[in-house]
Amino acid sequence: MKKLVVISGAGVSAESGISTFRDGNGLWNNYKIEDVATPQAWAKNPALVQEFYNQRRKNVIAAQPNAAHLAITELQQHYDVHVVTQNVDDLHERAGTDKVLHLHGNIRFAKSSNPDRVLDAEFDVQEEYYLIDGDTLNYPDDKAPDGYPLRPHIVWFYEPVVLIDAAADIVAEADVVIVVGTSLEVYPAASLVYRIKKGAHVFCIDPNAESLMIEQSVTLIKDVATSGFARIKDDLIRLAN
């Protein structure tokens, strides 16, 4: 079976009612990154950070996978499908996609806020993640087994993206790559497109699809994720054989 890799970002979940970050009404136009998405924000006002992610988690739990998530799942009948996502929602999994790598964490999970563990992550310390029961983490009452308050399993700005090498290895083996719903503004995630092998077929689905600065020729689909996937479905099935 050929290998198909989807590199997804917030746009794939937009039609499920989850805000993107950098569009007109995106989250980063309404909140400051420094207030809610950095280790410094957590040190300064952990309750505010916790509340921000509690709201995001409620939003994710209330949302349903859309036709784009489901189209990716259906492709599993034709390909060995891997999703490398920057999203912290679990809509790919809830749509039934089996192999999903979350570069920036998964909001349904919590981890210890022990700062040493967070720093050590770069050096291969195995972090433990705990599935959150319901939608709310309470600061400081909800604690990890090591006694530190639980924090969301989110990779904040200035924290290492420990899965980037694993993600790059997956992308490098792809016969077909679909880049969907990401502005490719955040590194190292954005650098994954440079790992696509020569000869791979590359599609980019995004209403603002721009030419990706890579050697391979890219089929640009300037459309939202749901109808974008519908448009390339036949091509994808043909390429599988």
Q: Which residues bind ligand OAD (CB under 6 A)?
A: 9-11, 14-15, 20-23, 26, 37, 86, 104, 155, 181-183, 185-186, 205-208, 224-225
Please give the Cα distance from 116 to 82 (Å, whole number). 32
Q: DSSP letters of 199-217?
A: T-EEEEE-TT----SSSS-
Strands (E), the chain: 3-8, 80-85, 100-102, 105-112, 130-131, 150-154, 176-180, 201-205, 218-221
- Return the number of the residue (113 or 182) whose C-beta is nearest ligand OAD: 182
Please give the Cα distance from 202 to 155 (Å, whole number). 27
- Return the number of the residue (69 or 94) whose C-beta is nearest ligand OAD: 69
Please give the Cα distance from 196 to 216 (Å, whole number). 8
Nearby residues of 152 by Cβ (< 8 Å), 6 or more positions away: 49, 50, 53, 57, 105, 107, 109, 110, 111, 137
- Return the number of the residue (176 or 180) whose C-beta is nearest ligand OAD: 180
> Of all residues in this chain, which one has the CB nearest to ligand OAD in the complex?
11
Shortest CB 23 distance to ligand OAD, Å: 5
Shortest CB 184 distance to ligand OAD, Å: 6
CB 231 within 8 A of CB 223: yes
3-state SS track over 71-85: HHHHHHHCCEEEEEE
Please give the Cα distance from 234 to 209 (Å, whole number). 20
- Residue 148 phi, psi dihedral angles, 5° rounding: -80, 150
Shortest CB 117 distance to ligand OAD, Å: 18
- Return the number of the residue (78 or 153) whose C-beta is nearest ligand OAD: 153
Shortest CB 174 distance to ligand OAD, Å: 19
- Return the number of the residue (50 or 182) whose C-beta is nearest ligand OAD: 182
Q: Which residues are 143's β-sheet partners?
A: 149
Shortest CB 87 distance to ligand OAD, Å: 6
Give catalytic residues, as residue numbers: 104
Q: Which amino acid is at 65?
A: P
